Structure 1
């Protein structure tokens, strides 16, 4: 293919060159051809056989489906002022500080607290009130045995809200108090899978001094029955930190809409969890886990990738619309996973997935594949990555809620473009079962 294709002068509506389509989609030209090979986009050879052209309306529709926001001279895009996350030049920053550096040097609780307040408090720990945790556990324990972790987290949020009479106080101090107790409640309400020697009263995280243990350690026992080691806990803690926020992802937008209506912080988190459960968002890591586990079991990623491509399935864990190269979150986690001996097999399988897929489409690794390496290496269930994502992102939703509470209420009110029949229309005829008498 060529990067510099001549404008298309064929009759009919104007068509886009590969470079123009790539710019509109926010991807590399090579990725445009990957969309074509996956059947997501159609192409036509340009006049003279030099390169391909693309239908502009079809490209715009794909851009809308993938979440790419087109520049709008009329200012019609939803744009929010935010001082939380900046994504720029294949890197991302929390309040101007490189998020990957924060993850390497500070714990999840420390970064969350700093993101909320601007104060870095070394060694800060979040604590779940006994009454709140007990209510959340009773609610979670009442769910069917087949319930997923996100089902349990949503139930725990609802229970925590019900026992908090101050939940409607939207002052920053009250919101932060709720957040500091809600996050450890979410973790503590999940069933313990591993060694509970560092817990008291049936699972309340407790350190050697009788205080709370770091959130990553408490969460580890909810994800796997394998004992925790320092290197694995460092990866989990870094993953929690890296996933706190990522600009206006779909779940964060839902959380801001709820906050705009002055919903209390528990309802804001519930809104985020509802969107996060989608297969294209928080649940994406589960697809990567299953693929990677199959590659490890079969001893090679090549046939697994081939099966995905042959059946028209996207290879999970690859590509991200906001990064042209490797997702910085994945890069950081892969580096930390190098220090985990039991992750060697899963790491090798992940690298083989990338190299095998590169023959078909040069897509870089994203954070879902890194979470899959962690979950496969740790003997976790496929939904572990989604659980990590949900617990972590709760802090980000709270940060966005604090911003949104300070804005004009109900400002997020898009207008619908009505496409139905024009009024006046007659009243509809009553529905009658086939064969019924008149």
Structure 2
């Protein structure tokens, strides 16, 4: 909408005419629109980020609304408001979660997972464009460096340990990692994801003509020969886990990206948080529970053991979904078609039915991952590996969004609760006064 007709000017008009009709905001209105205090508005003026006009005959100033909106977009002030619950909120165009659905760029994840492979969906998340048949290929130098580094770790190292080592080595081998242009970030991502998979040791000889990432990942997870149904289930799991809004690891990735850390460092930040037992490693306990339930022939005693020990039953409940995790439903449907998954699927249903007597918790994607790993002879940590590889796509997508924001915007203020200053300098500890250990403690 323009004001041309009211002022008798053409579509261009003079600068003075445009300024005369542009809406002006008071300091309070500008502060509200930016989501800051009035003092901060004047700080923007003093730094030359805003222009103000004194109110004739008054003490206040007015501000151009369009300039305020442009500053809001640059600083991200309107992008990170506090919600009513006190949580930090980001505007993102990647993932939408409703009480019973999950969408990537507005498209139901269930439909994407049924029709497209992981690499195709990763491209969709990154660019909003679908590229049928795309395959990611690791750069030889990055892959060689990642394999050498991962191979130096102790034999007992987990896949998560190897992935963290591999991403650091791949970064060091990529001199273009500091290119944060959209195309530069995408090139890094297309190199990094297959490099992570390639750096993991094989537990079986790779075989088959399938060059998808899922096919490359299978011999890293299972010594059994892969069939089409099992490979489809693994590929589907990768798609379902590619992103899930602002989970803890994704928030860490965005914080790293806000400093303009390169994509490899962003993924390292995500992997560090993913190592927590309450996030990416949550499928391991579910795997062990299902394996025990299959062995014992019933979930009831296994559930009872968890509750008696004061442990929650793994694989159940999700704070964002009112019913069953829709990602679990998609994966369960595929696993139901695999004869080798029947015992693990029966155990999972037994777990849900047993706990339903006393709680309203439903299956989440960790339980579905556990069925996949138990049914396909994978170790307990396989779900965590799948999660980490899959979620790399989401971390990159969020990094690309964050690179377009004002740098360093994610800087909360601490609420100091220590001793009030001034405090005296601490006295050095006298030697020989260390506490003696107490026997039997």
TM range (shorter): 0.7 to 0.9
Shift of 1:89: 3.0
**Higher-Rg member (1/2):** 2
Which of 395, 398, 401 is the aligned partner of 2:396? 398
Q: Secondary structure at 1:297's aligned position in 2?
A: helix
Shift of 1:77: 3.8
TM-score using structure 2 length: 0.78
1:373 maps to what in 2? 371
2:413 maps to what in 1? 415
In structure 2, distance between residues paired with 1:407 and 1:231: 42
> Greater shift after overlay, 185-194 or 264-273?
185-194
Task: For 1:209-220, list aligned pairs within 5 A.
Answer: 213-220=211-218
Aligned length: 354
In structure 1, distance between residues paired with 2:433 and 2:213: 63
In structure 2, distance between residues paired with 1:126 and 1:370: 26
Which of 264, 267, 270 is the aligned partner of 1:269? 267
2:234 maps to what in 1? 236
Shift of 1:432: 2.4
Shift of 1:71: 4.3
Shift of 1:434: 4.9
Q: Secondary structure at 1:93's aligned position in 2?
A: strand
Task: For 1:299-318, list aligned pairs within 5 A.
Answer: 299-318=297-316
In structure 2, distance between residues paired with 1:175 and 1:420: 42
2:318 maps to what in 1? 320
2:82–2:88 Cα contact (<8 Å) kept: no
In structure 1, distance between residues paired with 2:383 and 2:103: 22
Q: Secondary structure at 1:283's aligned position in 2?
A: helix
The answer for unaligned runs of 5 or more in structure 1 is: 1-68, 199-206
In structure 2, distance between residues paired with 1:98 and 1:141: 39
TM-align CA RMSD: 1.5
Which of 173, 193, 218 is the aligned partner of 2:183? 173
Which of 80, 101, 107 is the aligned partner of 2:117? 107
2:315–2:363 Cα contact (<8 Å) kept: yes
2:149–2:166 Cα contact (<8 Å) kept: yes
Q: Secondary structure at 1:87's aligned position in 2?
A: strand
In structure 2, distance between residues paired with 1:81 and 1:128: 32
Indicate yes or no: 2:174 matched with 1:164.
yes
Indicate yes or no: 2:164 matched with 1:142.
no
TM-score using structure 1 length: 0.79
2:120–2:132 Cα contact (<8 Å) kept: yes
Which of 279, 282, 285 is the aligned partner of 1:281? 279
Shift of 1:435: 4.5
Structure 1 residues 188-234: Cα deviation after superposition (integer angstroms, max 9, x where no partner): 11011123234xxxxxxxx47xxxx0011110110000000111111
Indicate yes or no: 2:387 matched with 1:389.
yes
Shift of 1:117: 1.2
1:227 maps to what in 2? 225
Indicate yes or no: 2:196 matched with 1:186.
yes
In structure 2, distance between residues paired with 1:268 and 1:70: 24
Q: Secondary structure at 2:256's aligned position in 1?
A: helix
Q: Secondary structure at 1:81's aligned position in 2?
A: coil
| Change over 3 Å in CA distance of 1:70–1:315 after alignment to 2 | farther
Shift of 1:147: 0.4
2:291 maps to what in 1? 293
In structure 2, distance between residues paired with 1:357 and 1:433: 57
Task: For 1:60-71, list aligned pairs within 5 A.
Answer: 71=83
2:354 maps to what in 1? 356
Shift of 1:70: 8.8
In structure 2, distance between residues paired with 1:259 and 1:322: 25
Indicate yes or no: 2:103 matched with 1:93.
yes
